[in-house]
Copies of this chain bind each other. A is one copy, B any other.
């Protein structure tokens, strides 16, 4: 930590900071410049944070130097981690495709979507039973009935299930059906939920908040890790900017940035970031090329009839094109596509 003193700070002001830091068990190094003095603090940053140094006379600014997260940081865990979901790995060396319907509507629709997902190269099935919707008048999901459908489709296809949980009270229920718990973009700073999934024995897919910095995203992961669940996969899904041509702006740089700061795997959601079917393939390719450990894609057998986000679901010929990309691109970049469990291997 660095404390920047104001030009008019007195010697007494500087000494007060040094004394406070010493009392908190730290060391303070004073650098006197021509126009201002800075004080470098060495010791336990969390102790210093509680000192409210910015409130003292003569202090202009307090700058944090080290990152505020520990468990998910690469500083303390230099290698990159692999998270396993129902036997399927997500992490370095692999490219894992998660696909399925945005929302579970019926057993038929979900099964059809799961088969499209497999055709596209997916080894995990996504599908929402509890949906956070901006409008109280929009379809909110089937709830437990949706979870049951997902479990049935898993039994039929062998695809482990990723599904969203939106309320701490339903974490146990969702965990009893799902292989991976998704925390959505609007819940990224729902700290009660983060703590609940941190105590669950399921891996967690943590979507980046649409207004969250990469640092805040990693702090949200830290909340989960603190409850001893380190099976966390980060998912970049677009941030909110001034641009209105796309629903959100996919922050493709966040993939290498997060991989450098954290050991956790990082995947990309090209469907929700753009919100447009015609962008899903280019953004999927960009994500894989940028080094993402996986992608999560919406597919739907009849997008025009979808109850949620039909505008962005892949269908028909798009599926073949995605499959072709998944077959060739990861390999060029030194990654192996994670094989889905086939019906025969399941049976």
Contact = CB atoms under 8 A, between A and B. Distances in A.
Interface residues on A, range: 35 or more
Interface string A41-58: 111001001101011100
Contacts of A52: 303-306, 310-311
A306 to B, nearest CB: 6
A304 B38 contact: no
A241 interface: yes
Contacts of A155: none
A274 B286 contact: no
Interface in A43-86: 43, 46, 49-50, 52, 54-56, 61, 63, 65-66, 68, 75
A35 B75 contact: yes
A191 B132 contact: yes
A236 to B, nearest CB: 11
Contact of A214 (B36, B210, B245, B328): B245
A333 to B, nearest CB: 7
Contacts of A40: 2, 29, 31, 33, 38, 40
A135 to B, nearest CB: 6
B278 A46 contact: no
A231 interface: no
Residue in A55, A68, A215, A278 whose Cβ sees the most chain B Cβ within 10 Å: A55
Interface stretch (A110-118, A172-180, A247-255, A339-347): A247-255
A222 interface: yes
A34 B139 CA distance: 24
A132 B186 CA distance: 14
A341 to B, nearest CB: 28
Contacts of A166: 191-192
A223 B136 CA distance: 5
Given A50-B307, A75-B35, A289-B329, A245 B254 contact: yes
18 contacts: A29-B29, A31-B31, A33-B42, A35-B75, A36-B66, A52-B303, A52-B305, A55-B306, A61-B65, A68-B135, A134-B219, A213-B242, A243-B254, A250-B251, A253-B274, A253-B282, A289-B290, A289-B329
